[in-house]
Structure 1
Amino acid sequence: MERVETARDLVLGYVRALNTVDEAMRVALPPLDRLADLLGLARSRRISRSDRIGTYSYTVHGAGCRFVSDNGIEVDVDFAADGSNVFDLWRLRQYGLSLPEPLEVTDDDLRAAVRSLQPLLNEVRPGWFGVAG
């Protein structure tokens, strides 16, 4: 049970870190209504696909964006068609490994942790999760 609690703490930490990134980006880039708007700004070349904003470096990729804070914590997120933030177990693991005291957890523990956090989180498509809105 302790492993699932550790995985649960990791998932909650990721969600908090994602919210922090979202807030920081919207403050730094006033035209941003939501984090997913970064894709459109990068595609229209209004911002670079890879740069630094405030205390984060970012890289726009495919359907998402990877953020790395000054202290090396990585938050990678994809965006659903409706612009909502979505993530999978791989992104959660990468976040855990980037922490100052890295957390290595199994997919099974992460899956159990995500399930235990419903209805806060929901599975938007198989293997992909989002924060319930």
Structure 2
Amino acid sequence: MEQVGAARDLVLGYIRALHAIDEAMRAAIPSLERLADVVGLARSRRISRSDHIGTYSYTIHGAGCRFVSVNGTDVDVDFAAGGSEVFDLWRLRWYGLSLPEPLDVTDQDLRSAVQSLQPLLNEVRPGWFSVAN
């Protein structure tokens, strides 16, 4: 049970980190209405596909973006068609392993943690989650 608690803290930490990135990016790019807009800005060449903004470096990929903070914490997120942020267990594990004090939890513990956090989280498709509005 202790591992599920650690996994739950990891999921909540990922969500907090995502909110902090959203705030930092919107402060740095006033035209940004939502975090997903970074992909469109990069595709239209108004921002680079990979750069530093504030305390984060970012790299646009496929349907998402990877953000790395100055302390090395890695937050990788994809964006759904409507612009919502979506993530899977792999992205949560990667985030945990990138923390200053790495936290390695099993996919089973992460799945239990995510289920325990509903209705805060929605499963938007099998294995993919988003924060409820």
| TM-score bucket (shorter structure) | over 0.9
1:98 maps to: 98
Matches within 5 A, 1:38-117: 38-117=38-117
Q: Spell out, residue by residue over 1:48-67, the C-alpha distance to the aligned partner (whole angstroms, 9 max, x if none).
A: 00000000000000000000
Give the 3-state SS of the residue equivalent to 1:68 in structure 2: strand
Question: Which amino acid counterpart does residue 120 of structure 1 have in structure 2?
Answer: L
- Looking at structure 2, the residues matched to 45 and 121 of structure 1 have their Cα atoms a distance apart, in angstroms, of 33
TM-score (structure 2 length as normaliser): 0.99
Q: Spell out, residue by residue over 1:60-91, the C-alpha distance to the aligned partner (whole angstroms, 9 max, x if none).
A: 00000000000100100000000000000000
Aligned-pair Cα RMSD in Å:
0.3
Matches within 5 A, 1:110-125: 110-125=110-125
- Looking at structure 2, the residues matched to 71 and 31 of structure 1 have their Cα atoms a distance apart, in angstroms, of 27
How many residues align? The count is 133
Unaligned runs of 5+ in 1: none
